[in-house]
Amino acid sequence: MKNLKNWKGLIYGIAYGLVSRAIFALEDFRGGNPIFPTFGLMTMSFMFVVPFVVGLITAYHQDSITSSRKIAAITMPVFAIVGLIGISVLSGHEGIICALMALPVFLFMVLIGGLFGVRIFKRNRKKLYVSAFALLPFLFAPLENQLGLTDKIFTEHTTVEIDATNQQVWNNITRVTKISEEENNHSLFQFMGFPRPIEAELDTIAVGGIRKAIFARGLFFTETVTKVERLKILAFDIKADPNSIPPKALDEHVLVGGKYFDVLEGKYEIEKINDSKIILHLTSQFRLSTRFNFYSGLWSKLIMKDIQENILDIIKQRSEAGQNSSR
């Protein structure tokens, strides 16, 4: 029993986090009437307030945290939030992408909550205090919802230098034949669970042409060509129907074309240096609609940059090898 008592703060912290996640997840983020007015997981209330309260509860129930051993004030809240995320991922209720994106802010907020709890509960350990804090995310959620979502458009630009002619590069951006496992780079976005690129098909190289970008696990985007300058520019609008995306292709909170995230445009530009060297530019625009775009934008730009660099590297390899993707 003594050993169990030493871990009760951790157990209560994880339990509170799991219960809170279940309640916030009750609302269907794709629409419909909310079962409970928490307005989903992609809220400040869940992302910031819940881990803060997990830290408070861990501090309240952990006797060692309120002692002079300050290391416990750091380790127990951290273990609680890692346990919460780990259980959510292993149970299939959360994807790796969202778990990794949430981890830094969860760790920061749970530490703040734990240290704050040490100070207030050392002076007063009334259950009324911790009970009031436990209700904080659910009281804040309806107030937060009055603010609405904020749309923000981001642009990501990447480049690569290629030792090839502009014709060779042009052939490899207009039509991308099937990408083999040997060509594919196992980069960050694939580790996080985003499907790898397979191929891209373009019916005609002209404004209004339809380009279909195909990814693993049944994911595809329909792209409409908006600008063509032969051997120089290929630009296109990107459309994704969230209802046509297979359930396991993407984590539901980063669903392309969904409530929170969408990719809007893409553009290749070939900058000719000389007859055998070019710089290939790839620029994309994407939308974020969250109440913490300042944070989710950092992750989104990182992932988009990684995706674009992977695509450019494949084009570079093929162009420099003299491989021609035109059909």
State whether 167 and 127 are in the same domain: no
Same domain, 96 and 40: yes
For residue 66, what pLDDT band results from cuts at 50, 70 and 90?
Answer: very low
% of the chain at pLDDT higher than 70: 83
pLDDT-based confidence at 35, cuts 50/70/90? low
On the question of pLDDT at 273 being above 80, the answer is yes
Is 125 inside a domain boundary? yes
Residue 64 and residue 132: Cα distance in Å, rounded?
23
Q: Which residues pair with 212 in a beta bridge?
A: 201, 222
Average model confidence (pLDDT) across the chain: 83
User: Is 327 inside a domain boundary?
Assistant: no
Q: What is the residue range of 38's domain? A: 2-145
Q: Point out the domain boundary residue: 145, 175, 203.
A: 145
Least confident of 38-47, 231-240, 283-292: 38-47
- Give the pLDDT mean for 313-320: 93
Residue 190 and residue 303 in one domain: yes
pLDDT digits (tens, 9 = 90+) for 69-114: 556 667 889 999 999 999 999 988 888 888 888 999 999 999 999 8
pLDDT of residue 165: 94
Number of domains in the chain: 2
Answer yes or no: is 326 within a domain: no
CB-based burial, 52-91: b 16+ in 10 Å, e otherwise: bbbbbbbbbbbebbbeeeeebbebbbbbbbebbbeebeee
Place of tokens 């790839």: 282
pLDDT exceeds cutoff 80 at 1: no
Q: Read off the pLDDT band of 274 (50, 70, 90).
A: very high
pLDDT of residue 245: 62
In a domain, 276, yes or no: yes
Q: Which of 110, 145, 180 is the last residue of a domain?
A: 145
Question: CA–CA separation, 225 vs 237, rounded Å?
Answer: 6
Phi/psi at 177 (5° precision): -70, 170
At 244, the pLDDT band (50, 70, 90 cuts) reads low
Look at residue 325 and tell me if it is in a domain: no
Could you tell me the pLDDT band of residue 228, with boundaries at 50, 70 and 90?
very high
Looking at the fold, whether 29 and 136 belong to one and the same domain comes out as yes
Could you tell me if residue 88 is inside a domain? yes
In a domain, residue 233? The reply is yes
Which of 145, 162, 177 finishes a domain? 145
Task: Identify whether 198 is part of a domain.
Answer: yes
Write the CATH number for 274: 3.30.530.20
In this structure, the answer to whether residues 114 and 214 fall within a common structural domain is no
pLDDT for residue 195 is more than 90: no
